[in-house]
Structure 1
Amino acid sequence: MPTIYDLKPKFQALLRPVCAALARVGVTANQVTIAAFLLSLAHGAAIAATAGADWVLWVLPIVLFIRMAMNAIDGMLAREFGQKSNLGAILNELTDVLSDVALYLPFALIAGMPPVLVVMVVLFAVIAEMTGVVGIQIGASRRYDGPFGKSDRAFFFGALALLLIFFEPGWWSTTLIAFAAALGLATIVNRARMALKEAGKGADHANT
């Protein structure tokens, strides 16, 4: 299924000059990864502390864009500038999940939002990323299949934040969150299915 993640190569091409400049001054991939997580943690704390004040919601799409750029940059630094490491791989996966939890779980504290559904969306996001990683364990690649991957979640919550500035939460926000939960569940199933399919093809080639 197509997702916003499919635009990643073009986004990386735009960021490559910035990435090269950071590498020249000694910035490492792991530093960028940790910085992106700390940014997410700080803004998630602001959402929780203010119960979704307008100014915090205004800033969220900007934070999500910066986080997405930093995630692309740390990957390029690792791959294109010889900075790959086992620690970096662990940090990348863990901080992605923790950043999602930090940024999206506080939406449950916004008055009028359905807390159970928000928790479900975040839980399904964590399971979806875990499913993607488990693909490697069974002989497939790290799966990023949609329809509700990391970039899609960022777009959804960024747009939701802007809508909440202008409209009181109600049936419409509950409907959107329920839809996001359904997409999250579909993503888990799709990643598991595609990982099994890929691993099966690998086994077939090995037996021929």
Structure 2
Amino acid sequence: MPTTEARRPLASRGTRWARAIASALASSRVTPNQISMVSIVFAALGAWFLVEWPSPAGLVLAAVCVQLRLACNLFDGMVAIEGGKQSATGALYNELPDRIADSLFIVALGYAIGLPWLGWLGALLAALTAYVRATGGALGFAQDFRGPMAKPHRMAVLTLGCLAAAIEVALAGSLHALLVAAVVIAAGSAITCVTRTRAIAAQLRAAGQGP
């Protein structure tokens, strides 16, 4: 895991249940890097549900996998920092599994609605939001986690899309909710790239590094 300055601000870190689970994990032999890797497993499973079993039950399970992936993202950092189990490779494992998990979910979303190009576009733009954030950090600024479609927002949209689609499939046999989710994720990620880039440019200008 990176230092606390590079952590995404999450209100859930201060909840009693999160602290209790993180404490139990920190006391075990589980490492933060292992938790990060498990997030990919949940993402792959959720992607399978989206593409291969888009039934009401499958879509609910996909939504559960999204939340389990986010839980891994929460606990890897808490175990590393609050639990004192940081490692030399933590920053690497903090980023790469996230990019893989994002891509698995969003690409699968495109295939689930019969529009693979939209899933790939959404995944590319989601990865680009992280690239822009990391670029700001590489330039010496605090990493910018603003939205409107940062990772938690993307996963919230996907979760709601899956749950809405589960009801929609049961009632009408269609998946329009997933289409809406895919469009919102792609468009919102594009806007996020712009907002983060403009913020970095403003910081560079303020630092006197050119117009």
Q: Which amino acid aligns with 2:197?
A: A
* Unmatched 5+ stretches in structure 2: 1-7, 169-173
1:85-132 deviation per Cα after TM superposition (whole angstroms, max 9, x unaligned): 34111111111110011122112222x543322322221101111111
Q: Distance in 2 between matches of 1:101 and 1:53?
A: 22
Matches within 5 A, 1:1-208: 8=10, 10-14=11-15, 15-50=18-53, 52-110=54-112, 112-167=113-168, 168-170=174-176, 174-201=179-206, 203=207
TM-score when normalising by structure 1: 0.83
CA distance in 2, matches of 1:175, 1:39: 23
CA contact (8 A) 1:139 1:199 kept: no
Relative distance call for 1:26 and 1:104 in structure 2 (3 A) is: same
Q: Deviations over 1:72-95 (max 9, x none)?
A: 111111112222234111111111
**Alpha-carbon offset, residue 197 of structure 1:** 3.0
User: Structure 1 CA distance, aligned partners of 2:94 and 2:73?
Assistant: 8
Aligned partner of 2:185: which letter?
A
Whole-angstrom CA distance in 2 between matches of 1:39 and 1:174: 22
- Check 1:19–1:200 CA distance in 2 against 1; reply closer, same or farther (3 A cut): farther
Query: In the TM superposition, what whole-angstrom CA distance separates every residue of 1:38-78 from its partner, at most 9, and x where no partner exists?
Result: 2212322343333x233221112222222212211111111
Taking the aligned partners of 1:194 and 1:125, their CA distance within structure 2 comes to 18
Q: Is the 8 A contact 2:22 2:83 kept in 1?
A: no
Identity percentage of aligned residues = 23
Letter of the structure 2 residue corresponding to residue 178 of structure 1: V
* Cα contact 2:118–2:183 (8 A) shared by 1: yes
CA distance in 1, matches of 2:25, 2:150: 27
Quick one: distance in 2 between partners of 1:141 and 1:86? 21
Q: What's the C-alpha RMSD, in Å, of the aligned pairs?
A: 2.3
Instruction: Return closer, same or farther for 1:139/1:196 CA change in 2, 3 Å cut-off.
Output: farther
